[in-house]
Every structure is written in structure tokens, then in C-alpha cells.
């Protein structure tokens, strides 16, 4: 995952405009907030810039934002320094958390950047951290049949709906010439059928169901809802 972390830690152009970045993070935050029990402890693993983390924090008792990219964490710490319900942690800190100390764990749009061994280790860790009755939301899992063209069409539709269609079209050309395209071509993205990702979750000790719709803007991808079995 190191090359991907370096990409997200860089000054990349994956978001085609400020409008895209804003509505992207707002949509995810609103989707996550629907799963948040009141006064709960929520852990968002691979949170990215989390521009609307306040929406999740407002519904929770405490929000823990975790990201592997130092630049992202520094930006979060500066922007959220006055948000008393939000804390920023590194992935390396999570094994030190107490057993059964978290009510909801969200990992959105991360599985595609992980090797299978990395994912398995994280699922075991998440199982240990979740309280009985807690929930793991594993979002934006890419099925094998979903191609780059599917993702492009989803972005263009999202742009048309939210006022940045032309910026999206121009941004796609820029992305095609970027390090993201190179990394996606050389490293690939990890994909799972529903049966395959469900089997990994069950092997880690979860009972699993597919959510009616994916978190975020891409309906071709999947969100799995898993609870400690």
C-alpha cells in the first residue's frame, strides 16, 4: 500500500474542483451519519480529508479519524483543532486501543488499495475493537466486473447532478495523465465479488449483509455491513 499512501499524501488532482471535493465528502459524511448511534464512539479508517467530519461528530459521542498519510493528518489536525469530539490517529496506534471500545467502524474506499493479507489483518483488528452489537461498514468495495469506464460514468453522472460536469470531464483527462492512472495500471485495484468479501469478513468473526446501496456516489460498488458474530 506504500505507493498509494504516497499518492494520497501528495498534491494530487483526483478531485476535479473544489465543488467536487466538497460534495464528495459531504455525501460520504451524510451516508455515514445514518449509521451512527447516538453517544457512540465512531472510528473512520482511511478517512481522507473528511471535510464534513462535523456532520458525523454531531451524531456521535466521539469521532476518531485515522489516515496513513501524514499530510492529510496534519491538515485534519489544523482544521479540526477546535472540534472537541474529534481526534486524529495513525493506523499504527490502533492496536493499542482497548478491546470492545468502538461502536461503529467505517472503512470507505480503502479495500481496493490493500493486499489480501493487509485486509485480513485489519478485519481481525476491527473485530477485536468492536463492542458486541457494534457495526463495521466496509464501503466502496469494487466487484470484479466494475471497470474504469464504469467509474468514469459514475463520476460524470455525479458531476451532472451536483454542478461540476464540465470540470469532471476536464479532470478525467488530467487524471489520465497523472500518477493515479500509472499506479492503477501498474499496481491494479483489489476487487472482490460479494461472496469473496463476505467470506473474508466471516473468517474474521463477523456476520455479514450487503447494504441496500453503496456509501458515496458510485452505485456499481458495494457496501458490506458486518457485526461481530
More confident residue, 174 or 39: 39
Domain residues for 98?
2-228
Give the whole-angstrom CA distance, residue 27 versus residue 160: 15
If pLDDT is split at 50, 70 and 90, which confidence band does 185 have? low
In 3D, which of 146, 129, 132 has the Cα closest to residue 190?
Answer: 146
Tally of domains in the chain: 1
Average pLDDT, the chain: 91
Q: Where residue 202 sits, what CATH number does that domain have?
A: 3.40.50.150
pLDDT in tens, 195-217: 999 999 999 999 999 999 999 99
Collect all residues with Cβ–Cβ distance below 8 Å to 61 and sequence separation of at least 6. 38, 39, 40, 41, 85
Amino acid at each position: 500500500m506504500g505507493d498509494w499512501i504516497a499518492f494520497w499524501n501528495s498534491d494530487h488532482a483526483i478531485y476535479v474542483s473544489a465543488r467536487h471535493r466538497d460534495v464528495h465528502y459531504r455525501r460520504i459524511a451524510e451516508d455515514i451519519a445514518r449509521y451512527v448511534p447516538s453517544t457512540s464512539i465512531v472510528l473512520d479508517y482511511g478517512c481522507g480529508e473528511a471535510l464534513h467530519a462535523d456532520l458525523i461528530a454531531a451524531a456521535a459521542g466521539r469521532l476518531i479519524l485515522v489516515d496513513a498519510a501524514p499530510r492529510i493528518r496534519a491538515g485534519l489536525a489544523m482544521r479540526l483543532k477546535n472540534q472537541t469530539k474529534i481526534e486524529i490517529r495513525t493506523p499504527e496506534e490502533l492496536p493499542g486501543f482497548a478491546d470492545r471500545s468502538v461502536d461503529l467502524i467505517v472503512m470507505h474506499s480503502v479495500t481496493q488499495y490493500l493486499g489480501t493479507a493487509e485486509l485480513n489483518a485489519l478485519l481481525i483488528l476491527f473485530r477485536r475493537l468492536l463492542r458486541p452489537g457494534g457495526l463495521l461498514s466496509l464501503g466502496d468495495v469494487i466487484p470484479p466486473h466494475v471497470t474504469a469506464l464504469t467509474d468514469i460514468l459514475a463520476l460524470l453522472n455525479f458531476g451532472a447532478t451536483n454542478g461540476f460536469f464540465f470540470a469532471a470531464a476536464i479532470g478525467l483527462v488530467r487524471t489520465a495523465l497523472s500518477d493515479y492512472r500509472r499506479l492503477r495500471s501498474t499496481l491494479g485495484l483489489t476487487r472482490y465479488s460479494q461472496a469473496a468479501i463476505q467470506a473474508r469478513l466471516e473468517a474474521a468473526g463477523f456476520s455479514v449483509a450487503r447494504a441496500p446501496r453503496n456509501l458515496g456516489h458510485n452505485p456499481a460498488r458495494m457496501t458490506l455491513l458486518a457485526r461481530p458474530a
